[in-house]
Amino acid sequence: MKINHLTSAEENLMKLFWKLESFYLKDIMEQHPEPKPHQNTVSTYLKILVEKGYLSTEKEGRIFKYTAIVPLEEYRKFLLRELSHNFFDNSGREILNLLLHENLISQETLKEFNPSAETKPLKVKEEFEYANEILNPKKDKKKGKEKEKDKEKKKKKKKEKE
């Protein structure tokens, strides 16, 4: 089953749909917290989510019954894989390091998952190099000199061609 990305609005509605599992449009309107969206807006999102393969429909008379067909757990796995791939070079270790560094998980909690493993304090990178370069664009002298040499070489090549 291929899972597609959801917008934040679609994700918010899917959270409600996962709780309801099977529902009608009127159920959504009753369950949706204030401020409630317009019924046509919800209908449009339902149509989109059916097209994306998150919901299935079953016609009952003049109305449709919707069922969530992508389980919440599968979507969570998809998001975690995407996060790992896009921001952590597919490294669970880097994710764990960040979770520990940001105090989102403790060493004690980590021990619960693998009690036999020795837990050494993990060395956490204090800075991400790429982010540091963007946030602090100060150039190293060597890099600056190397860039100047490259520019000079390009100028020489242009002159030789002329």
pLDDT tens string 105-135: 888 888 887 777 665 555 545 545 555 555 5
Q: What angle do CA 75, 78, 79 make, to 5 degrees?
A: 90
Q: What is the pLDDT of residue 141?
A: 47
Domain assignment present for 141: no
Tokens of 36: 């409630």
- Please tell me the distance from the alpha carbon of residue 99 to that of residue 45, in angstroms, as a whole number: 34
Stretches in the chain below the pLDDT threshold 50: 124, 127, 140-141
Q: Are residues 41 and 96 in the same domain?
A: no
Q: Are 14 and 68 in contact (CB under 8 A)?
A: yes
Q: Are residues 92 and 47 in the same domain?
A: no
Predicted model pTM: 0.62
Q: What is the pLDDT of residue 161?
A: 66
- Please tell me the distance from the alpha carbon of residue 95 to that of residue 83, in angstroms, as a whole number: 9
Q: Are residues 60 and 30 in the same domain?
A: yes
Q: Are residues 31 and 67 in the same domain?
A: yes
Q: Total structural domains in the chain?
A: 2
Domain assignment present for 158: no
- Enclosing domain of residue 95: 88-129
Q: Are residues 58 and 93 in the same domain?
A: no
β-pairing verdict for 22-24 and 55-60: unpaired
CATH number at residue 52: 1.10.10.10
Q: Residue 138's CB: how many other CB atoms inside 10 A?
A: 7
Q: Are residues 25 and 64 in the same domain?
A: yes
Phi, psi of 116 (to 5 degrees): -80, -15
